[in-house]
Amino acid sequence: MQLHSKEINIIGHKNPDTDSICSAIAYAWLKNQIEERQGGSNHYTARRAGQISSETAFVLNYFHKDVPSYINDVRSQVGDAALDESHPVSCHMSLKNAWRILNEEHLATLPVVDSQRHLTGLITLGDIAKSFMGVYGSTILSEAGTPYKNILETIDGKLLAGSADQKVDRGKVLIAAANPDLMENYIEEGDIVILGDRYESQLCAIEMNASCLIVCMGAQVSDGILKLAAEKGCAIMTTEYDTFITARLLNQSIPISHFMVREHLITFRQDNFVEDIRPIMSRQRHRDFPVLDNEDRFIGMLSRHSLIDMDKKKMILVDHNEKSQAVDGIDDAQLLEIVDHHKLGHVETLQPVSFRNQPVGCTSTIIYMMYQENKIDIPKDIAGLMCSAIISDTLLFRSPTCTPVDKKAAQALAHIAGIDMESYARDMFTAGSNLKNKAAEEIFYQDFKKFTAGNTTFGVGQVSSMNQEELDEVLPRLKEYMSLARSHHEVDMIYFMLTNILSQSTQLLCCPDNAAKIAADAFSMEAGGDLIPLPGVVSRKKQLIPKLMEELQQN
Segment 453-465, tens digit of pLDDT: 888 999 999 998 8
126 and 266 share a domain? Answer: yes
Give the 3-state DSSP-derived string for 465-516, with helices as H, strands as E and coil as C. Answer: ECCHHHHHHHHHHHHHHHHHHHHHHCCCEEEEEEEECCCCEEEEEEECHHHH
- 100 falls in which pLDDT band (50, 70, 90)? very high
N-term to C-term CA, the chain: 58
316 and 428 share a domain? Answer: yes
Query: Is residue 200 in some structural domain?
Result: yes
- 18 falls in which pLDDT band (50, 70, 90)? very high
151 and 240 share a domain? Answer: yes
Number of domains in the chain: 4
User: How far apart, in Å, are the Cα atoms of 137 and each of 71, 174, 216?
Assistant: 56, 11, 22
User: 500: closest CA among 538, 457, 552, 445?
Assistant: 538
324 and 396 share a domain? Answer: yes
User: 383: closest CA among 422, 423, 411, 342?
Assistant: 411
- Cα 122 to Cα 124: distance, rounded to the nearest angstrom: 7
Residue where a domain stops, chosen among 392, 408, 432: 432
pLDDT in tens, 387-442: 999 999 999 999 989 999 999 999 999 999 999 999 999 999 988 877 877 888 88
> Please, which residues have CB within 8 angstroms of residue 33's CB and are 6 or more apart in sequence?
374, 376
Query: Is residue 428 in some structural domain?
Result: yes
Could you give the count of Cα atoms lying within 13 Å of 262 in the half-sphere of its Cβ? 7
pLDDT in tens, 459-484: 999 998 888 888 999 999 999 999 99
Q: Is pLDDT at 10 greater than 90 in this prediction?
A: yes
Name the amino acid, one letter, at 20. Answer: S
Question: Global pTM?
Answer: 0.69
Instruction: Return the CATH number at 62.
Output: 3.90.1640.10
367 and 272 share a domain? Answer: no
Query: Is residue 138 in some structural domain?
Result: no
Q: In 3-state terms, what secondary structure has residue 311?
A: coil
550 and 468 share a domain? Answer: yes
Mean pLDDT value across residues 324-346? 89
449 and 539 share a domain? Answer: yes
Query: Is residue 1 in some structural domain?
Result: no
474 and 379 share a domain? Answer: no
pLDDT for 4 = 43
Instruction: Return the CATH number at 175.
Output: 3.40.1390.20
pLDDT in tens, 144-170: 999 999 999 999 999 999 999 999 989
263 and 297 share a domain? Answer: yes
pLDDT for 465 = 87
337 and 396 share a domain? Answer: yes
155 and 211 share a domain? Answer: yes
Instruction: Return the CATH number at 478.
Output: 3.10.310.20
Query: Is residue 137 in some structural domain?
Result: no
- Cα 197 to Cα 177: distance, rounded to the nearest angstrom: 11
Query: Is residue 19 in some structural domain?
Result: yes
- 1 falls in which pLDDT band (50, 70, 90)? very low
pLDDT for 154 = 95
> Please, which residues have CB within 8 angstroms of residue 84's CB and are 6 or more apart in sequence?
1, 2, 288, 300, 301, 302, 303, 306
pLDDT in tens, 158-209: 999 999 999 998 999 999 876 776 777 788 899 999 998 889 889 999 999 9
pLDDT for 554 = 82
Q: Is pLDDT at 5 greater than 60 in this prediction?
A: no
pLDDT in tens, 115-135: 999 999 999 888 888 877 766
Query: Is residue 140 in some structural domain?
Result: no
- Cα 248 to Cα 109: distance, rounded to the nearest angstrom: 24
The percent of residues above 90 in pLDDT, for the chain, comes to: 63
CB 239 within 8 A of CB 214: yes
Q: Chain-wide mean pLDDT for the chain?
A: 90
Which residue segment(s) compose the domain that 92 sits in? Answer: 79-130+258-309
Identify the H or E element spanning 374. Answer: none
Q: Is pLDDT at 507 greater than 50 in this prediction?
A: yes
